Amino acid sequence: MNKQKISLIVYDFDGTLVDTLFDIADAVNLSLKELGLRTLDRETIRKYVGKGVERLMAQSIDDTDCTDLSLAVELFRKNYSKNLMNHTRFYPFGREILDHFHDKKQAICSNKPEDFVRRILESLKSLDRFDAILGGDSVKSKKPDPEGLLHLLDRFQCSPEMAVLVGDSPVDIETGKRAGVYTCVVNYGFGDPKEIASAGPDCSIDHLSELKDLFY
């Protein structure tokens, strides 16, 4: 892929820009314990991240007698809210890449509740780096529905050819393709490598710093 001129970079959050796995997994397991259920290892929970809180807890309580998903979600939100920043950090080069592209519009489009995204970025002293933040509850539909991404393109009057979605999963790739933007996947995130490969992103990177070599 030749170096591509862009005006808008849209980042997924969990598994892409910020490593949230330990804190999410701990909150899931605290919630499962309160429900009297078995806990899960982090690698299992990793596979469930990225499609929203409801899906995360639905998969985490699967194959159990517990059918009260709304209670499970409520417990997760409570436990995660208290433990947002125990282990959560930017991935390597996260801050640097936000600084590098300071002259572009930069936004978050995540399936994570917007409040959690904002609080984490505030703790990381990086909230002001973004021109817009969309969570899974900011618009009607979650990714892979392109509603949020299309909203950002419209908000910044940006044509799809001038935007890139950076994510870590087939959900992000599908979202980007449906909106007509470039798709760049990170190889260190939560997504399954085989599923990512079959989803066919426009490009992939091992470190966020590589975005500098692909886009300007």
Q: Which residues are catalytic?
A: 12
How far apart are the two ends of the chain, measured CA to CA in Å?
Answer: 13
Beta bridge partner(s), residue 184: 166, 203
Structure-token match 């290892």, residue found: 41
Give the H/E segment covering residue 71. Answer: helix 69-82
Angstrom distance (rounded) from CA 64 to CA 15: 27
Please, are residues 38 and 112 in contact by the beta-carbon 8 Å criterion? Answer: no
* Strands (E) located in the chain: 8-11, 18-19, 89-90, 105-109, 132-134, 163-167, 182-186, 203-205
Burial 142-156 (b: 16+ CB within 10 A, else e): bbbbbbbbbbbbeeb
